[in-house]
A and B are shown apart, each in its own frame.
Chain A
Amino acid sequence: MGETDTRKRGGEAAARDGLVTDERVKWAGVAVSVAFTLAIVGFIALVLLEYVDYGLLFAVVPRFVEAFVRVLRVVVISSVLAVTAGVFVGLGRVSRTSVTHAIATAYVQFFRGTPLLFQLFIIYLGIPSLWPPGEFPVGNWSFATAVIALTLNHAAYVGEAVKGGINAVPAGQMEAARSLGMSYVDSMREIILPQAWRNALAAIGNDQVILVKDTSLLTVIAFPEILTVFREINSNQFDPWTPIVLVAITYLAITLPLMRLVQYLEDRAEWGTQG
């Protein structure tokens, strides 16, 4: 079929459907995304060429590297703990034992229902005040607070993702496992959780990206995270664009590999459906 035929048919469709035709939507999409990209690339070029002070930039890179390492440490520890704890929260949420279910539900409701910032204050200020003044035994309490609060908060979100993942496994899977004589625990571990994990991976990964960005709140508990460095530099130099560029790079240096890791785990859990 020739080019003109296609055009002609496109024309007829336009006459029938009014303004919104497949062809026009496609070209509108291309136009908008190209325009958007040009605008962004142009703006970034402008910033990089005109507004970034490269002398300052290279001088402050080490401070961002330090913040990167500190944040990465908190993220890795909290994330591993949150995902591990989240699996148990999810199991509690689907438990038919009423005590377990009620406790898991209350936990999720509290940690999802109040701001993380508030949870940071509870731990950072509240816990040490339970000791007589000056006798609180933990040295680096802001690091510990960061890990505890991020873990508790994100375990609630991971728990909901795991619960959704478990509920999405067809009931016949548990029945097949149990009818072979497997115990509930074995069936969960061998059959339900691997499938629930696959179902929940995207949501869990999404939450871990949010966890990375949540570290920006740690500035309020005197933890020198990435934006803390930004503010120090900006207030000393009155030059926002140089540290802005470094902040973007530092966050993306954590979140982009994290998203790749999640994608890799998702691909690995395809089990023969990708040919």
Chain B
Amino acid sequence: MSDGDVQETRTDTPEVEFEKVNKYFGETHVLKDIDLAVENREVVVVIGPSGSGKSTLLRCVNRLEEIQSGEIRIAGESITDPEVDVNRLRQRVGMVFQHFNLFPHKTALENVTLAPVRVRGVPKNEAEQKAEDLLAEVGLGDQADSYPAELSGGQQQRVAIARALAMDPSVMLFDEVTSALDPELVGEVLGVMRNLAEEGMTMLVVTHEMGFAREVGDRVVLMSEGRIVETGPPADLFDSPKTDRAKQFLTRVK
């Protein structure tokens, strides 16, 4: 199986699938019976109040957190199976964090080439060529040799997106990737994400940017207290929410 296939053809198997997922932190029940499928090329936006479990939901997808019951599948393959090679499945899932988490001792280019070279065994010059293309794509063609400390928050976050894309993931996870940015830098990062969505990347996005959710999202999922309380196309969910919980939340964020 080659990695390129996944993005180009529409498949019936969802890229990410939650089935009756339950997650506890000690006594706290953080994810409650989560059922959710992210289809190929779909952009699913997760919204909800602070502490409702959005980050945890994302972090379970690539098993940065362990779940206690249920199953999560990446393109049909269970990542929650204790026997599975988690490093292999993680390569198919790109993740971008709120605080960028770039490697400070590596240049932008090295941040992007590291995993392809170390994990995939891609020859160095090939990886560098591709990294330069990716950096150019996120508008940082001239910053390849800069260290993270020399870049603005918005630039760092775009490098982080390029770094995740370098592994040719079939789905990308974004966890409030603009919340740590100065307001004037939010747009450049959302722009990159919008382009990705237009190119057909499958995305699971946690955000407080309701404008982005409405414009780019194919589907919005509203979480509250560990449950998915409502889900639907952005227009429906934002303009005519069905549940009281959704109405409450939406009046607060508007």
Taking Cβ atoms with an 8 Å cutoff, the residues of A that contact B are: 170, 172-173, 175-183, 186, 190-191, 194-195, 198, 269, 271-273
CB pair A180–B147 under 8 Å, yes or no, is no
* A-B complex: 5 closest residue pairs judged by Cβ atoms: A272-B147, A181-B91, A176-B101, A180-B115, A172-B101
What CA separation (Å) do A194 and B103 show in the bound complex? Answer: 10
Distance in angstroms between the alpha carbons of A181 and B148 in the assembled complex: 21
Whether A183 contacts B97 in the complex (CB less than 8 A), given A190-B118, A198-B105, comes out as no
Chain B residues, Cβ within 8 Å of A194: 105
B194 near A: Cβ within 8 Å? no
B105 touches A172 (CB 8 A): no
Q: How far is the CA of A55 from the CA of B119 in the complex (A)?
A: 67
Contact indicator A191/B103 (Cβ below 8 Å):
yes
- CA of A147 to CA of B65 in the docked complex: distance in angstroms? 45
Which one, B88, B91, B105, B149, contacts A180 given CB within 8 A?
B91
> Which residues of chain A are near B95, meaning CB under 8 Å?
176, 179
Question: Which of A170, A182, A186, A272 contacts B101, CB < 8 Å?
Answer: A170
Q: Is the CB of A195 within 8 A of B114?
A: no
Q: Across the interface, do A179 and B90 meet the contact criterion of CB distance under 8 Å? A: yes
Q: Which residues of B contact A (CB under 8 A)?
A: 62, 64, 87-88, 90-91, 93-95, 97, 99, 101-105, 107, 114-115, 118-119, 146-150, 160, 163-164, 167
State the CA gap A190–B115 with chains docked (Å): 10
The interface residues of chain A, by DSSP majority, are classed as: helix
- State whether B115 touches A271 (Cβ < 8 A): no
Q: Whole-angstrom distance between the alpha carbons of A161 and B99 in the complex?
A: 26
Q: Provide the bound-state CA to CA distance between A181 and B101, in Å.
A: 15
Query: A271 touching B147 by the CB < 8 A rule?
Result: yes
Q: Nearest A residue to B164 by beta-carbon distance? A: A180
A190-B118, A272-B149, A272-B150 known; A178-B90 Cβ under 8 A? yes
Inside 8 A of B167's CB, which chain A residues have their CB?
A: 180-181
Among B64, B149, B150, the residue within 8 A (CB) of A179 is B64
Closest residue of B by beta carbon distance from A176: B101
A176 touches B97 (CB 8 A): yes
B90 CB contact (under 8 Å) in A170, A173, A181: A181
- Write out the residue numbers on chain A whose beta carbons fall within 8 Å of the beta carbon of B149: 271-273
Does the CB pair B119–A182 fall under 8 Å? Answer: yes
The smallest C-beta distance from A192 to any residue of chain B, in angstroms, reads: 10
Within 8 Å by CB of A195, from B88, B105, B107, lies: B105
- Residues on B with C-beta less than 8 A from A272 are 107, 146-150
The distance in angstroms between the C-alpha atoms of A191 and B103, with both chains bound, is 7
Who on chain B is nearest to A197 by CB? Answer: B105
- How far is the CB of A201 from the nearest CB of chain B, in Å? 13
Q: How far is the CB of B103 from chain A (nearest CB, A)?
A: 6
Which residues of chain A have C-beta atoms less than 8 A from B160's C-beta?
A: 176
The distance from the CB of A184 to the nearest CB of chain B, in whole angstroms, is 9
List 7 interface pairs A-B (beta carbons < 8 Å), by A numbering.
A172-B97, A175-B64, A176-B102, A179-B94, A191-B103, A272-B147, A272-B150
Query: Closest CB of chain A to B175's CB: distance in Å?
Result: 11
Residues in B whose Cβ lies below 8 Å from that of A182: 87, 114-115, 118-119
- Return B69 CB to nearest CB of chain A, in Å: 23
Determine the distance from Cα of A177 to Cα of B105 in the docked complex, in whole angstroms: 13
Measured CA separation A195–B104 after assembly (Å)? 8
Q: Cβ of A176: which chain B residues have Cβ within 8 Å of it?
A: 95, 97, 101-103, 160
**Which of A170, A172, A180, A183 touches B114 (beta carbons < 8 Å)?**
A180
In the bound complex, residues from chain B placing their C-beta under 8 Å from that of A190 are 103, 114, 118
Other contacts beyond A178-B90, A182-B87, A190-B103: 10, CB < 8 A: A170-B99, A173-B101, A175-B64, A175-B97, A180-B114, A181-B91, A181-B119, A190-B114, A191-B103, A272-B150
Q: Quick check: B87 and A179 within 8 Å, CB to CB? A: no
Q: How far is the CB of B127 from chain A (nearest CB, A)?
A: 13
CB contacts (< 8 Å) of B150 on chain A: these are 272
Question: Are B104 and A181 touching (Cβ within 8 A)?
Answer: no
A271 CA to B111 CA, complexed, in Å: 13
List of B residues within 8 angstroms of A177 by Cβ? 103
Instruction: Say whether B62 contacts A179, CB under 8 Å.
Output: yes
CB distance from A211 to the nearest CB of B (A): 27
Q: Which of chain A's residues has its CB closest to B59's CB?
A: A175
How long is the Cα–Cα vector from A177 to B118 in the complex, in angstroms?
A: 11
State the CA gap A186–B87 with chains docked (Å): 11
Give chain A residues whose Cβ lies under 8 Å from the Cβ of B104. Answer: 195, 271
Contacts of B94 in A (CB 8 A): 179
Q: Which residue of A lies closest to B87 (CB)?
A: A181
By beta carbon, the residue of chain A nearest B148 is A272
Q: A189: nearest residue on chain B (CB-CB)?
A: B118
Complex Cα gap A182–B104 (Å): 17
A191 to B167 alpha-carbon distance, docked (Å): 17
Report the separation of the CA atoms of residues A194 and B105 in the bound assembly, to the nearest whole angstrom: 8
Residues of B within 8 A of A271 (CB): 104-105, 147-149
- Residues of chain A lying within 8 A (CB to CB) of residue B115: 180-182
